[in-house]
Structure 1
Amino acid sequence: MGCDRNCGLIAGAVIGAVLAVFGGILMPVGDMLIEKTIKKEVVLEEGTIAFKNWVKTGTEVYRQFWIYEVQNPQEVMVNSSNIKVKQRGPYTYRVRYLAKENITQDPEDHTVSFVQPKGAIFEPSLSVGTENDTFTVLNLAVAYNNTVDGVYKVFNGKDNISKVAIIDTYKGKRNLSYWPSYCDMINGTDAASFPPFVEKTRVLQFFSSDICRSIYAVFESDINLKGIPVYRFVLPSKAFASPVQNPDNHCFCTEKVISKNCTSYGVLDISKCKDGKPVYISLPHFLHASPDVSEPIEGLNPNEEEHRTYLDIEPITGFTLRFAKRLQVNMLVKPARKIEALKSLKRNYLVPILWLNETGTIGDEKAEMFRKQVTGKINLLGLVEMILLSVGVVMFVAFMISYCACRSKTVK
């Protein structure tokens, strides 16, 4: 009888040990299987999850505009007074709803080429007025419809998953021809996705044709987005700093910049990229810009939460599931004898024209699909691993304690 009981206790302990070992083995094996599956599904080729979402995201993307209306144009023209502005908006358009076109795979260098059509549909219900509203602003033609962006040529990741979605060439070139030195390089992806297995220490590089340069984002915080754990990456203020504060930015400083010896910051001269028009890009309301830039403009209220740019990245796949891109278009205005309205000016102004907020969030249907196909399976596997390991350890310890107790009683 005692032998049967002891044998049963030993058998229980052995089963517990086997479960614990199996749970422990399942951890690296499971991680390996997940990694293998992810590497297969994020490749940009027909039949993968990534390709289907890459061709047409299905995410509702809106681009909102706020127009800066000048309240005192006569005072400015006659007395060179501070410019008083008042933002009017938003005027909202649905954008990025068109699928990529001219998709061509190149199996030799493992790249895929495409163009991204630009379309915009006005959304009256999300706007304060109509497209026929009038404003007192500087004359600046702004185009966001019936054009295409590209050609982009990106790596499909088939030979090296760490390069997936990274831009090889833009409009047939690896450089922009706008900036000197390394500032002219086209780095990273287009920010719609990044190579998988994103770590918090990684600096995410991406190229934006809107601002005619490559830029980067750094990790800020963990976020839960519709039940999906994501990493929030933000554009740091250092990216807009002057060369005095950040020497890496020296090649973004141009001769026509309004600052003295490039000591001002937070504004980027993209006139060379815009056919010579005196266009300057900044964050809305001159967020992260030096005080001398905004000093001649009254009516600005920079706010970190409303005016910064961020990306919410699902770290395992590298997909961007939510984003907010905010930027401001400004014009440099200088005294000009041949222009009646400008001939009496006694100083230069960097005048804000408009700022935009482009946002997109994964839809409920897509989020549910993502939870089932990616995070749900990973969480389930992790749960099974922990249950097996925990139950196995508890069984082993419990049965061994019981066995030892029985043995001591038998000896006595």
Structure 2
Amino acid sequence: MKGGTKFCISATTLFVGLIIAVVGVSFLHFFPIIFDEALKKQTRLVEGSTGYNIWESPPADIFIDFYVWHLENPLEVEKGAKPNVTQRGPYTYRETRSKDFIQNNKNGTLSYVQPERYVFDPVHSEGRDPKVDNFTTVNMPLLTIINQLQYMPENYRYLFNVFANLLERHLHATHTVHDFIWGYFSPLLALAKILRPEMVATDEFGIYVGKNNSSDGVYTVYDGVRNYTKTNEIERWNGKDDVSYWTTKYANRINGTDGTYFRQFLTKEEKIYIFISDICRSVYATFQNESETRQIPTWRYVIPKSVFDNHYIEPSNAAFCTPDKNSCPPGGILNITDCQYGAPIYFSSPHFLFADNEVFQMINGVHPNNTLHQSYLEIEPYTGVPLKIGKRSQINTYIHSYDFIEFYKNVPKAYLPLVWMEERSFATKEAADELKRQLMVPLAIGKYSPWVAFSLGILILLVGIGCSRYQWKQWNENPSLAINSVMTDEEIEPMMHDCM
């Protein structure tokens, strides 16, 4: 091979290697910028985007499991004994939800309602029938009225005591699981509604009464176009940016999203806020660990103990004590009576997970377990899409003695669990595959292609340098080759032109 040809090959090799290496380095710098902008465009809540479709109708299988608490010794409790309870369930319902009546407000926000529909699932209920199975618990309509009577004049108490002894002679009642969840007619509530309409909202009682095929109100959220960090963050709920159940502006503020969709590019250090209308307040979740959901890397967030901690440990929680911090329940318990139309309802995690020891001293039969009873979300951190959710909550009441009701005079103080629920959502395989196609493939390309290009460029550069050194070595060892290869400027110029 002639010296000129060798020179041309070496120069070309060095040039190509340098170009490929530079392209690789440039791609390392520019790909994240291009990818981030493309992702923001696809995940903001604009009709037609991937994010909008997921937000509008979450592609997930959603179930809710109900576990009722059977009161084993109601007559003994009337005499002062500690309540003994046992868990029964699950009674599982398939849940469907989608955002309806979506309105673009032309100011960077969208408004919608989100009806929830429940259909009983006998397979996941393992043969249990909520319309047949009975259980015993405290008589909640009776306790609701008694709880309000303690603040009323003596003549009201006397009159009600007469009716109570005629209609209800014990603190307990037995219901089917279906009636207790979805509602049943109460003569006591009907009577109270006639005598004092402001005392009760309805003549029915049920943990989820009126919730099937209905929504919890009108949400107005940011679409994320102007500021991606506000994607799906609630601006207003039922026309207001706060609630009025708690004692400070901070506690009443509506923070975060509705829990179905979060902003893009989450960080492990930040808290994510969720507004839960059932308890009329926002809570936060914190990063726990990296996880994997349907072969997609996710981050697992949990509702930590501090959210419902005793106000002595977490002073800011005193704002959630009503009417003031002198009325604070033990840690792990939230009084939501005002949020539940005056019914003496208290919220906690299932089995009183994270509650203070005094709660467990009041009752027998609960066994908290972090794995089974702590709420969690597994979120894909780039898109903010939750792929797996376990929302776990427990509804309780508070019993104690009431001197003006004969069969309540000796009742001990106790937080009595009524029912606990796990609302679980799991992204469908089809949705996960689509997310992998739109997210994981571009990420893999962006992650590995620049390094492949850079490495290939460096390799070609090294080959070019090696060839040049070899040629130089040959010239040094055999000067005649160098002499023979010496060329005038007129000879070099056409060679360079050929190389180009």
What TM-score does the superposition give when structure 2 sets the normalisation length? 0.78
Structure 2 alignment gaps of length 5 or more:
141-205, 478-500
- Residue among 370, 389, 406 paired with 1:304: 370
Change (3 A) 1:400 1:292: same
| Displacement after TM superposition at 1:178 (Å) | 0.7
| Equivalent residue number for residue 335 of structure 1 | 401
| Equivalent residue number for residue 181 of structure 2 | none
Query: Within 5 A, what are the aligned runs for 1:194-233?
Result: 194-233=262-301
Change (3 A) 1:12 1:243: same
- Residue among 147, 150, 160 paired with 2:227: 160
| Equivalent residue number for residue 176 of structure 1 | 243
> Secondary structure of the equivalent of 1:149?
coil
Q: Is 1:99 the equivalent of 2:166?
A: no
Q: How many angstroms apart in 2 are the aligned matches of 1:81 and 1:401? A: 91
Between stretches 300-309 and 47-56, larger displacement belongs to 47-56
| Displacement after TM superposition at 1:230 (Å) | 1.0
Change (3 A) 1:402 1:255: same
Q: Tell whether the 8 Å contact from 2:62 to 2:423 is kept in structure 1 after alignment.
A: yes
Q: How many angstroms apart in 1 are the aligned matches of 2:295 and 2:280? A: 35
> Secondary structure of the equivalent of 1:325?
strand
Q: How many angstroms apart in 2 are the aligned matches of 1:369 and 1:138? A: 49
Query: Within 5 A, what are the aligned runs for 1:8-407?
Result: 8-78=9-79, 80-95=80-95, 97-107=96-106, 109-128=107-126, 129-132=128-131, 133-140=133-140, 141-143=206-208, 144-181=211-248, 182-255=250-323, 262=328, 264-345=330-411, 347-407=412-472
Structure 1 alignment gaps of length 5 or more:
none
Q: Tell whether the 8 Å contact from 2:69 to 2:86 is kept in structure 1 after alignment.
A: yes
Q: How many angstroms apart in 2 are the aligned matches of 1:209 and 1:177? A: 13
Q: Tell whether the 8 Å contact from 1:229 to 1:314 is kept in structure 2 after alignment.
A: yes
| Displacement after TM superposition at 1:211 (Å) | 2.1
Q: How many angstroms apart in 2 are the aligned matches of 1:203 and 1:305? A: 21
| Displacement after TM superposition at 1:9 (Å) | 3.2
| Displacement after TM superposition at 1:406 (Å) | 4.1
| Displacement after TM superposition at 1:405 (Å) | 4.5
Q: Which amino acid aligns with 1:379?
A: A
Q: How many angstroms apart in 2 are the aligned matches of 1:249 and 1:2? A: 83
Structure showing greater radius of gyration is 2
Between stretches 224-233 and 267-276, larger displacement belongs to 224-233
Task: Tell me the alpha carbon deviations over residues 351-396 of structure 1, each in whole angstroms, 9 at most, x when there is no partner.
Answer: 0111111111110111111111222222123232221122222322
Identity across aligned pairs (percent)? 32
> Secondary structure of the equivalent of 1:126?
coil
Q: Which amino acid aligns with 2:22?
A: V
| Displacement after TM superposition at 1:201 (Å) | 1.5
> Secondary structure of the equivalent of 1:82?
coil
Between stretches 394-403 and 382-391, larger displacement belongs to 394-403
Q: How many angstroms apart in 2 are the aligned matches of 1:262 and 1:98? A: 35
Change (3 A) 1:390 1:211: farther
> Secondary structure of the equivalent of 1:205?
strand
Q: Which amino acid aligns with 1:134?
A: N
Q: How many angstroms apart in 1 are the aligned matches of 2:100 and 2:366? A: 40
Task: Tell me the alpha carbon deviations over residues 63-111 of structure 1, each in whole angstroms, 9 at most, x when there is no partner.
Answer: 1011110111121111x1221111000000111x13212211111x211
Q: Tell whether the 8 Å contact from 2:329 to 2:335 is kept in structure 1 after alignment.
A: no
Q: How many angstroms apart in 2 are the aligned matches of 1:101 and 1:177? A: 26
Q: Tell whether the 8 Å contact from 1:77 to 1:344 is kept in structure 2 after alignment.
A: yes
What TM-score does the superposition give when structure 1 sets the normalisation length? 0.94
Q: Tell whether the 8 Å contact from 1:10 to 1:400 is kept in structure 2 after alignment.
A: no
Q: How many angstroms apart in 2 are the aligned matches of 1:387 and 1:63? A: 48
Q: How many angstroms apart in 2 are the aligned matches of 1:17 and 1:192? A: 48
| Equivalent residue number for residue 157 of structure 2 | none
Q: Which amino acid aligns with 1:69?
A: H
> Secondary structure of the equivalent of 2:310?
coil
Q: Normalized per residue, which structure has more helix?
A: 2
